[in-house]
Amino acid sequence: MKKDFLKGLRHSLPIAIGYFAVSFSFGILTAKYLKYGFSAVSSGTMSLTNVTSAGQFAAVTAIVGGAGLFEMAILQFIINLRYALMGFSLNQKLPENMTLFQRSVIAFGNTDEIFAVAISGKYPLSFSYLLGLEWLPIFGWTFGTVTGFLAGEILPKTITTALGIALYGMLISIVMPVAREEKSVRITVLVSVVLSCLLFYIPLFKVINSGFAVVICTVISSALGAYFFPVKEEENEV
């Protein structure tokens, strides 16, 4: 068990380092919104209990925009729905003797990168291994957020503003490589951008706060992308 746990830690080290860098930028972002109740503790708790960059970024935008609990719930459900799908897939690879509690623990830390490593099939998916694979990235994500928040209170505003852009850069860096290769992704992203601009600049839509605007853009662009660019059955076969 200890051997599997340590192996999981070794395999997760690159992920943890990357998570620290991204969450550091997230911490700096939340440090800008002290008047909305953000603190080192609340920001760190958000990262510890969510472990999702896109979801947390959207949550901050929604909170600052005055979104209600219902809008927040819908927003997080849509953005994080992929984790449920990844959980179903990973669950089929787990040993039959793994308990429901153990599966629930693994499901909590099942992020995109951890899923990619776990589903590769190169290593036995014991509970100890998966626990080691998830523990270090979760720690790096949380510690990076708290460190970034504290740095945001100390560093000059010019530096924190520059570092805060890193989170936007991270999100763009995830989308652009895929968008260059896939026409469907390019069009879906373009539709989302156009919808976002319409909701922001047209006076008629000013009554819609930023949190619900994200929900609208996500649902419409995703639905159109799924309708016009469905994934063929043979593309899903391994």
Please give the model's pTM, rounded to 2 decimal places: 0.74
Q: Are residues 199 and 159 in the same domain?
A: no
Asked if 134 and 110 count as a contact pair (C-beta separation under 8 A), the reply is: yes
Please report which confidence band the pLDDT of residue 194 belongs to, taking 50, 70 and 90 as the band edges: very high
| Domains of the chain: total | 2
pLDDT digits (tens, 9 = 90+) for 139-176: 999 999 999 999 888 878 777 777 667 666 766 776 77
Of the candidate ranges 22-26, 115-119, 173-177, the one whose mean pLDDT is the lowest: 173-177
Is pLDDT above 80 for 211?
no
Is pLDDT above 80 for 11?
yes
15 Cα distance to chain centroid? 13
Q: Are residues 116 and 70 in the same domain?
A: yes
Please report which confidence band the pLDDT of residue 179 belongs to, taking 50, 70 and 90 as the band edges: confident
Q: Are residues 170 and 205 in the same domain?
A: no
Instruction: Give the three-class secondary structure for 36.
Output: helix
Alpha helices in the chain (DSSP H): 2-31, 40-50, 53-64, 69-79, 81-91, 100-108, 112-119, 127-154, 157-181, 183-201, 210-228
The Cα–Cα gap between 118 and 176 comes to 25
Token pair listed for 63: 């909170």
Q: Are residues 158 and 203 in the same domain?
A: no
For residue 233, what pLDDT is reported?
53
For residue 46, what pLDDT is reported?
95
Considering the chain, what is the average pLDDT of its residues? 85
Q: Are residues 122 and 234 in the same domain?
A: no
Q: Are residues 194 and 140 in the same domain?
A: no
Asked if 55 and 80 count as a contact pair (C-beta separation under 8 A), the reply is: yes
Q: Are residues 117 and 12 in the same domain?
A: yes
Q: Are residues 120 and 226 in the same domain?
A: no
- Closest to 56 in 3D by CA, of 18, 88, 25, 90: 25
Calculate what percentage of the chain has a pLDDT beyond 70: 91
**Of 160, 176, 192, which residue sits at a domain end?**
176
* Domain ranges, residue 51: 2-176
**Of 176, 201, 218, which residue sits at a domain end?**
176
